[in-house]
Structure 1
């Protein structure tokens, strides 16, 4: 799983991110490039059209509403993305396309919750900002361990935009 969040776990507001952090976008691209990405329909729709599908990644869109005979589903498939009816089908599609060595769940909040029991890695960008939001990252319970922080868990990078942030890697035994 990979996401950016505020310290109180806000990840989204009105279908988008409540910040602009180019360093996080680069981190996201560096981590996910060459691997399947599984996302919900609203996450797919939050990307500007010019970025759909995300290049050099198998894009899998999980949606209960984009069925096989739906024009909207056909439009998503026409971009080269795969449409899956549920999270399990999305993982199966990732396995069919690229194997399951590394599959990234990239949002939204509902999909992250569904992935918690199968995921073993969470790349989290913590952005030191106080924002309101209507979508939240899942709480990582005691099974998860912080294995890497850049900079240290008490430190921060400062972006060109002036935001403070750090990259965290959380792992859970399989």
Structure 2
């Protein structure tokens, strides 16, 4: 168990699709704004494919990449905005030592799966449309979470798909004997 808030941050369509050919299947500036608000000034943990899907490094965030690719570690060894880990054990040790209240896991599906037993908070954008997708979000047991906030996103010329922002917190477990 990790000692801080572990959050998942993602957007999915009505069929659970989160990616298509290494990119988001939709264009939704409101979701990008929400993602920025949630993740700014927090470490963001991702796999190599998610990392490589960014056009540039995201400002005001520490990028933590879990990959078996050794070249990535060499490429970013002198960049203080990127840390590359090659094992789950190493990244979990790093997370436990980290002096921040929250770490954001941002994908892809394999990375979400690694941390599903540790997640305490969910930031989900539900895109109310169906898209072509080749990557789905992992199953989440929503019975273990309370929905604490839900906001309908505004649709307009730039945000043509209806969408909803949701925040869930893990339910407290009371052990009584």
Same fold (TM over 0.5): yes
2:3 equivalent in structure 1: none
Between the aligned partners of 1:171 and 1:37, the Cα distance in structure 2 is 18
Runs of 4+ displaced beyond 4 Å: none
Between the aligned partners of 1:107 and 1:38, the Cα distance in structure 2 is 7
1:144 equivalent in structure 2: 145
Between the aligned partners of 1:10 and 1:88, the Cα distance in structure 2 is 28
What secondary structure does 1:24 align onto?
helix
1:64 equivalent in structure 2: 68
Structure 1 stretches of 5 or more lacking a match? none
Q: Is the 8 A contact 2:73 2:85 kept in 1?
A: no
Structure 1 residues 108-147: aligned runs within 5 Å:
108-141=108-141, 142-147=143-148
1:172 equivalent in structure 2: 170
Between the aligned partners of 2:88 and 2:171, the Cα distance in structure 1 is 21
Q: 2:44 aligns with which of 28, 37, 43?
A: 37
Aligned residue pairs total 162
User: TM-score normalised to the size of structure 2?
Assistant: 0.83
Report the aligned-residue RMSD: 1.8
Between the aligned partners of 2:78 and 2:53, the Cα distance in structure 1 is 18
How far 1:113 moved relative to its partner? Answer: 1.2
Which stretch has the larger CA shift, 139-148 or 84-93? Answer: 84-93
Q: Is the 8 A contact 2:10 2:124 kept in 1?
A: yes
Between the aligned partners of 2:89 and 2:144, the Cα distance in structure 1 is 22
Q: Is the 8 A contact 1:60 1:93 kept in 2?
A: no
